[in-house]
Chain A
């Protein structure tokens, strides 16, 4: 189920980490969770996101305001390199994979599996 930016209506898939930095299109910080039923109501029925919010009584999610020097949000500084979201569904932490060879698998919040041999190798020279 997706979220929509309340400002420009851009849609984000559920669990998207992009929205934590604010909407990439308009910089909006507020997002509304929309069920499939009303997912296209803004386009098809010409409603504003605020109208949909009122209709569905969903709370608008506000992303913490961040200055340019502030720390990135938790989800973006995850310790794991690969997260198992559900069987067969993975999220890759490309930032982490790019900067180190450590393989840390995250399963749910607070459960980790660590591949020690990958952590014991010296970083390859570029």
Chain B
């Protein structure tokens, strides 16, 4: 087995096979950046970007290259792209509740819109696999989730669905599992780091 891996490594080096680029997608406030930070921190000790309770904190895609996922003795090198929350509607009013003034909120709405376009651009052009993150306390049947999973399927990209925030008392990750029976679902808490090994095992299996 080790010999095979070495041979594969040799050939991929020889022919310049690129690493799998895994995009972290999901609706706003699903905990995408928290999860991306957790993965990157577990591996490299660094972080990928700041998190906040205000939706659309991540308005530009952020990339971390060469993240080594170790699971069950096997290693997989991937690039991680943390993307802005994808949604079908953005209204600056939702930011006013977080104490922003009108100008700031309008600017954020605009940037968030550009962020969605950027996330979709990555999905269209440059992503080899998707980790679709959902907040376990929310209804998984939201229009945007059904649409995005449909788009990911139509692009024939491998996908892992992450039921995040299982540390919260009203989390119902089982709902997510029954909503997407056709895809592997991993239940984690990106914040607390629960079940991350299950996720790494799945990443090694699905994105290899």
Contacts and interface: CB of A to CB of B under 8 A. Distances in A.
Interface stretch (A12-20, A57-65, A83-91, A117-125): A117-125
A120 B151 contact: yes
Given A116-B86, A116-B144, A120-B151, A110 B109 contact: yes
A41 B114 CA distance: 44
A2 B91 CA distance: 30
A113 interface: yes
B147 A79 contact: no
Nearest to A123: B124
A122 B124 CA distance: 6
Nearest to B143: A116
A120 B123 CA distance: 7
Interface in B139-158: 144, 147-148, 151, 154-155
Q: Is the interface of B mostly helix, strand, loop or mixed?
A: helix
Interface in A97-123: 100, 102, 104, 109-117, 119-123
Contacts of A113: 88-89
A87 B48 CA distance: 43
A114 B147 contact: no
A39 to B, nearest CB: 32
A120 B114 contact: no
A80 B113 contact: yes
Contacts of B151: 116-117, 120
Interface in A16-64: none
A68 to B, nearest CB: 25
B109 A119 contact: no
Nearest to B109: A110
A51 B92 CA distance: 41
Contact of A102 (B89, B120, B125, B155): B120
B106 interface: yes
The 5 closest A-B CB pairs, nearest first, are: A110-B92, A110-B106, A119-B120, A110-B109, A120-B151
17 contacts: A79-B110, A79-B114, A79-B117, A104-B117, A110-B90, A111-B90, A114-B87, A114-B89, A114-B117, A116-B86, A116-B147, A117-B147, A119-B116, A119-B117, A119-B120, A120-B151, A121-B124
